[in-house]
Structure 1
């Protein structure tokens, strides 16, 4: 059996890509963190989502809907967010199928900041 591909769409295996971040590794860029957060939604890893959320905007808890199946990620644009940057944005579209079989997408421009050497998700603006 071949190793499963990472849900974030890089073509790497889950273990080579977002799996290592879900196990506590740090993201090198804002885009890498955003991809790992998408994969966390896809695999149901709420702990990773909370751990990578800025404390000023992080919710107290997070309940993921197991009926939602995330089906694809498109990174549309990035600004900043490189290895030596302190902030960045990533515009993305994440496709899903809900529990009723309806297809949809979340289109967002997310803001990331580096705190203590770690990239964190700050907030996002929903786009049409």
Structure 2
């Protein structure tokens, strides 16, 4: 049986975010079809600790020089996409809630993320926390 995708889509990882992660790892590039697909793949990359994928999908104008490793004991619990909107062909936003647990305490990250498409490739730009 194929493992479910961490992004909560209900599909198997290999045919969901895993396909994007594998394409990137094999040098085939980034191919998320929508801002929501990219956001889901980034959430899964956080869950699976794939910092190279996270950096590659972060727009160069806002990409941090380094990503801190996940805190020991951090467990991602789930993702809920609240809204996904295309402003035009090259700009979109995705509102989501990501839940995690660390040191026995539950955490909730509620963000409206901004995405831009350049050269046919979607990138995460930044987000506003709620």
- Same fold, TM-score > 0.5, yes or no: yes
**Could you tell me how far apart the structure 2 residues matched to 1:22 and 1:67 are?**
23
Greater helix proportion: 2
Matched, 1:46 2:51: yes
Give the gaps of 5 or more residues in structure 1: none
Equivalent position SS for 1:114: strand
Q: 2:114 aligns with which of 111, 114, 122?
A: 111
**TM-score (norm: length of structure 1):** 0.91
How many pairs align?
Answer: 123
Matched, 1:96 2:95: no
Could you list the structure 1 runs, at least 4 aligned residues long, displaced by more than 4 angstroms after superposition: none
Q: Where does residue 76 of structure 2 map in the other structure?
A: 70
RMSD of aligned Cα (Å): 1.3
Matched, 1:9 2:8: yes
Q: Deviations over 1:72-112 (max 9, x none)?
A: 0000011107xx820000000000011x1111110000000
Equivalent position SS for 1:88: strand
Give the gaps of 5 or more residues in structure 2: 25-29
Matched, 1:79 2:78: no
Q: Give the superposition deviation at 1:67.
A: 2.1
**TM-score (norm: length of structure 2):** 0.90
